[in-house]
Chain A
Amino acid sequence: MTVDETIRQVLTDHGRLAVSVESLTDDTDLFGAGMTSHASVNVMLALEDAFDFEFSEKMLKKSTFESIASIRSGVLEMTGG
């Protein structure tokens, strides 16, 4: 799977969104789409499992998980992609 496909799969499995992941654009506000803080923790842990890294402390902010685009940026920063 590509990075984006993996992110979307993680959101499907752990994001507990009020809308389908297929309907999300890169910039859709995930918190506005129903993702709670608790769900975002699950997304964070699942991303770490999927990409085999651990988010650094400076990455653990709400803005890192607010959209697919911001998650992609965070993942690529942590994986050096």
Chain B
Amino acid sequence: MNRATETLRVGIDLVPVAEVAASVEYFGDRYVTRLFTPHEIASCRTADGPARARGDYAVESLAARFAAKEAVVKVLRPIEMQPDWRSIEIHRMTGGWCEIRLSGQAAELAADAGIAELTVSLSHETAVAGAVVVGRCIPRERGEE
């Protein structure tokens, strides 16, 4: 592998925490389950998250995860298809950091773009949550399927 041929893609997104709180309050579990995987939902239950919560959810954590998903989409650069939000999972590791796990449409987009690795950093304050995602792309060899 020639590392000189590798390229990087960066995606960043910010989400107002109040907007996520309003969505949780208005649409309830339907909002949460349409956007987030069971693992993400479990990670954002108030028992595991900050004290500021709406209902059962730590909304800052949900907002940071949505920002990360949008940042991943910016790295994937879909032309038309918008991958299911749940095909991008922000997976919380035991040590507290997060990794990105793709499935379905998002995994297909990553494969098409030659994205070999994604890494993410999440952050949130009281008002705003954000995430940065870096993707390492390895161009396909000529003739490679």
- Known: A41-B31, A45-B31. Is A61-B15 also a contact (CB below 8 A)? no
Let me know if B84 and A60 touch, CB within 8 A. Answer: yes
Let me know if A42 and B27 touch, CB within 8 A. Answer: yes
Let me know if B23 and A42 touch, CB within 8 A. Answer: yes
Query: What 0/1 pattern do residues 30 to 52 of A give for CB contact below 8 A with B?
Result: 00000001110110010000000
Query: Which B80-124 residues have a C-beta within 8 angstroms of A?
Result: 80-82, 84-85
Using CB atoms, name the residue of chain B closest to A63.
B80
Partner of B66, one of A38, A45, A57, A61: A38
Query: What 0/1 pattern do residues 7 to 34 of B give for CB contact below 8 A with A?
Result: 0000000010001100100110011001
Partner of A60, one of B26, B73, B82: B82
Let me know if A62 and B27 touch, CB within 8 A. Answer: no
Give the B-binding residues of A (Cβ under 8 A): 16, 37-39, 41-42, 45, 57, 60-63
